[in-house]
Amino acid sequence: MSNSDLFQLAGKSYRSRLIVGTGKYRDFAQTRAAIDASGAEIVTVAVRRVNITDPGKENLLDHLDLSRITILPNTAGCYTADDAIRTARLAREAGVGSLLKLEVIGDEKTLFPDVTATIEAAKVLVKEGFVVLPYINDDPITAKRLEEIGCAAVMPLAAPIGSGLGIRNPYNIRIILEHSRVPVIVDAGVGTASDVSLAMELGCDAVLLNTAIAGAKDPLLMAEAMRLACEAGRKAFLAGRIPRKLYATASSPIEGLLD
């Protein structure tokens, strides 16, 4: 990849276009090894109560190389705008900067976002100086509204969180890409490497995933596969694919054929 093809987000440049979560790993060592193998430079974390009965337990951030990695706190598990705003403020106070994956969940079973609550929370948080990256449906109108509010990127889902179904509606993702002036990050629902490649081939700026690596039989191998798929998809996008045609076009010249 040429050095000039960097992922730009909120004034910072990243070589990797893969953003990975830190949930569901066996232990912190595996979390770290998977992040390293994925090449990700941005990783998501959740905000939760310290376990008061056993506060001495090790902490995730002690295991991450914070000189190399940008922490992206999320508001996972929040079902109202108020809860998400509260969680965001706590995350910033904990001292990892103003980046925020805004997630306001609308329903337990699908974990689809609550659009109105997401917009409401985004308005408040952008005003408070957060760099808001909202998790949204693959809906171009919602993407546009959030961009207008001042979100630093939009993060349409590929499919429900943790479902591994891959990009359900590549056409909507394309429409979002055509109209978006902020980075488009496919977030959630990725199942395997080809899903990441597809997102990159569509022209997405980055892909965010967690379960597809953490839940794989061999997470470290899958992390590497995701890194390669991300790079391959990006290169294919930059290279420009050939158009799809219904009929064959010979690759070998007709000239010089034997009589």
Partner 1 sequence: MRVMLNGESRNVREGVTVDELVRDLGLNQRRIAVEVNRDILPRDQYGEHQLHEGDVVEIVQFIGGG
Q: Which stretch binds partner 1 (CB under 8 A): 17-25, 112-120, 170-178, 198-206?
A: 17-25
| Smaller CB separation from partner 1, 59 or 116 | 59
> Is residue 124 part of the contact set for partner 1 (CB under 8 A)?
no
**C-alpha 184: how far from its chain's center?**
9
| Smaller CB separation from partner 1, 136 or 149 | 136
| Smaller CB separation from partner 1, 87 or 142 | 87
Count how many residues are written for the chain.
259
Q: How far is CA 184 from CA 55, 158, 245, in A?
A: 38, 12, 28
Helix (H, G, I), strand (E, B) or coil at 14: strand
Binding partner 1 by CB under 8 A: which of 44, 118, 180, 197? 44
Binding partner 1 by CB under 8 A: which of 17, 38, 41, 74? 74
Catalytic residues: 101
Q: Which residue has the tokens 């991300």?
A: 230
Distance of alpha carbon 225 from alpha carbon 195, whole angstroms:
11
Distance of alpha carbon 75 from alpha carbon 37, whole angstroms:
26
Distance of alpha carbon 111 from alpha carbon 165, whole angstroms:
14
Q: Which stretch binds partner 1 (CB under 8 A): 87-95, 123-131, 148-156, 167-175?
A: 87-95
Minimum Å gap between C-beta 91 and partner 1 is 7
Residues 24-43 that bind partner 1 (CB under 8 A): 24-25, 31
Tokens of 60: 């995730």
Q: What is the dihedral of CA 69, 73, 77, 83, to 10 degrees?
A: 180
Strand partners, 131: 99
Helix (H, G, I), strand (E, B) or coil at 98: coil
Cβ atoms of 205 and 185 within 8 Å: the answer is: yes
Binding partner 1 by CB under 8 A: which of 71, 149, 167, 198? 71
> Is residue 49 part of the contact set for partner 1 (CB under 8 A)?
yes
| Smaller CB separation from partner 1, 2 or 53 | 53
Minimum Å gap between C-beta 32 and partner 1 is 11
- Which residues form the interface with partner 1 (CB under 8 A)? 21-25, 31, 44-50, 52-53, 55-56, 59-61, 71, 73-74, 76, 86, 89-91, 93-96, 161-162, 188, 208-211
